[in-house]
Amino acid sequence: MWQLAESAHPVLTGGGGAILDERTGRWTYLTPTASAALMLLLASATEEEAAGQYAKQYAIDAGQAGADVRTVAHALTAQGLATEEPASRRRWWGWWR
């Protein structure tokens, strides 16, 4: 299951957004469409479900929507802001947060 990392704190709007990486103190800024894709990823159980909603929202074909959503998901995962690891595999020393 795709999800944001515990150290990632999003501020998302329809006009764009940003994610604060608590570990580094850096912000990652998102375009309006990347912000929409992220909101749908967070609200959906799977990337495919998010892509379907993205296709409806932007009236584009499913293939392009899937590619767009995957690009956002993979970029955030590569930056360490997201993970595909289940929540139960989180580090035990984060219990105090």
Asked if residue 94 has pLDDT above 80, the reply is no
pLDDT recorded at residue 41: 95
**Residue 2 identity (one-letter amino acid):** W
- Over the Cα atoms of the chain, what is R_g? 14
Tell me the average pLDDT of the chain. 89
Asked if residue 91 has pLDDT above 80, the reply is no
Q: Which of 14-18, 19-23, 24-28 has the lowest mean pLDDT?
A: 14-18
Give the H/E segment covering residue 26. strand 26-30
Give the H/E segment covering residue 56. helix 47-58
pLDDT recorded at residue 16: 93
- Beta carbons of 44 and 53 less than 8 angstroms apart: yes
Residue 53: band (very low, low, confident or very high) from pLDDT cuts 50, 70, 90: very high
Q: Is 96 exposed, middle or buried (0-12, 13-18, 19+ CB in 10 A)?
A: exposed
For the segment 39-51, what is each residue's pLDDT rounded down to a tens digit?
A: 999 999 999 999 9
